[in-house]
Structure 1
């Protein structure tokens, strides 16, 4: 067996430190959320219990935890669906060059480099000056799309750049219309990538703070509510909330990954069945 070089161990140690830096705060919060009733916001821990998780479901003296969670969930789903639909349409449109396509592409990418707080301020001002209500489901929704759509479009551009057009040509040779080709050929093939775009759209929206700060109106989303709680909550209940929301996020990621695995297995099974039929 070949002996590993010193650089390997140095790089492995650096990567380990990076993981500690990346996940250490989350693990710390998770540990502190299991303190006893007399627990505080710092170490050492004072007992071990589920008291603060139970406290989350009691009437809260401050904050609207579950209301803000429901708003973030609905907003995340709205952004997810819109991001997937617009990204697919944009990906299909950019398969062929058209006048102004280059300018439109750079305009799309530009929204990623503009400071998020300026986007939030600009969208909020547009809505307020136009006499429209500044609300998480309108202005907040629009502000978050400036964050999620570029990612979704970039993924779709990459997908369609590598897409084999012979599948579409074969479908048209069999008499399929343009819509039937998209529905029965293109969409099933790119379905795993669509799951990835949906995951991006939901997770980027669910925990977005800066672009929602000045566009949510009178009702907070969950990130805004948690930020507000940091100024007036002095118990580990905020750690319990952070632990649950983190677990929810990992659960969503696991669900989407499971869907991708199922879709890939189903496609592989159909492909092998088709091969056997040809034999």
Structure 2
């Protein structure tokens, strides 16, 4: 260390990290590359030509199934899950700021669904709807099954955000004559907006690619993960790779948009603080 040389453990850990990154992203990169083959292309290397043929074939619904419809259903379901998750998580964060009788039981009841396997919850929800005589549907039973997964994450994130919230800001607003509703919408919500964006990102991404909890609750119409699973049974073309490329780009775009919105909010707050 005194001679300026790094210890041998640095190179070992660096090599392990490179192998980890290669194992994690290597298969994804191969899929992205193979999705841009021309009509002669197959599922393996070497790559034959370059075109957008398989992306056009993906949405033509000739061999690949109802990709467009399943994509729309997944987006709509993810938006519903996001909306409910943000609202309930915010209300839970506000409600748990003060201790009340049975708060520990309610808390563990909320996060208890994280322990149960997703497929078991999916089967149980499907059986419950069947026993009740209500047909399963992605907007009802599918929504409930996915909320059992997204709500605990949203509540935990909101608890972490609320732990750093300074209640003196609320007291100052009330001293200036603001009502409880005005204090919530004009003080609490703007301050917690980055945390709410994080909760929304959790809800959307977890719902968008959820498979196990939707398998027995989506009803007769597939969501996108279920459609991809069914495609693996009957589609043997790079169209499946093209679908993986499209969904990955969409996921990265959503994550980038969320991070940009959080950064923009923080920058605007810093600018306002400087002017004051």
Name the residue aligned to 1:206: 208
Structure 1 residue 2 displacement after superposition: 4.0
> Structure 2: how far apart are the matches of 1:206 and 1:2?
49
What residue in structure 2 maps to residue 131 of structure 1? Answer: 133
Correspondence for 1:94:
96
The Cα RMSD (Å) is 1.2
- 2:55 is aligned, of 43, 53, 56, to 53
User: What is the match of residue 195 of structure 1?
Assistant: 197
Counterpart mapping for 1:82-161 below 5 A: 82-161=84-163
Q: Are residue 183 (structure 1) and residue 172 (structure 2) matched?
A: no
Whole-Å separation in 1 of the counterparts to 2:6 and 2:177: 59
- Note closer, same or farther for the CA distance 1:174–1:3 as it changes in structure 2 (3 Å cut): farther
For structure 2, list consecutive stretches of 5 or more residues without a partner in the other structure: none
TM-score, length-scaled by structure 2 = 0.96
Cα distance, 1:273 vs structure 2:
1.8
The answer to whether residue 269 in structure 2 is matched with residue 259 in structure 1 is no
Deviations 1:62-87 (A, max 9, x none): 41000000000000000001100000
What is the alpha-carbon distance in structure 2 between the residues aligned to residue 116 and residue 81 of structure 1? Answer: 21
- What is the rounded CA distance, in whole Å, between the counterparts of 2:44 and 2:121 in structure 1? 36
* Distance (whole Å) between structure 2 residues aligned to residue 73 and residue 186 of structure 1: 29
Query: Higher mean Cα deviation, 156-165 or 75-84?
Result: 156-165
* Unmatched tracts of structure 1, length 5 or more: 275-279
Give the Cα separation in 1 of the matches to 2:195 and 2:8. 39
1:15 aligns with 2:17: yes
1:69 aligns with 2:71: yes
Name the structure 1 match of 2:225: 223
- For residues 208-254 of structure 1, the C-alpha deviation after alignment (integer angstroms, 9 at most, x for no partner) is 00000000000000000000000100110110011011101101111
Q: Is the 8 Å Cα contact of residues 63 and 235 (structure 2) preserved in structure 1?
A: no
Measured in 1, the distance between the counterparts of 2:63 and 2:55 equals 15
Residues in 2 aligned to 1:207 and 1:98: alpha-carbon distance in whole angstroms: 36
Q: Number of paired residues? A: 274
Tell me by how many angstroms 1:42 deviates.
1.4
2:245 to 243, 246, 252: 243
Displacement of 1:162: 1.7
SS of 2:220's equivalent in the other structure is coil
User: CA separation in 1, counterparts of 2:64 and 2:241?
Assistant: 15
Between 1:263-272 and 1:225-234, the stretch displaced more is: 263-272
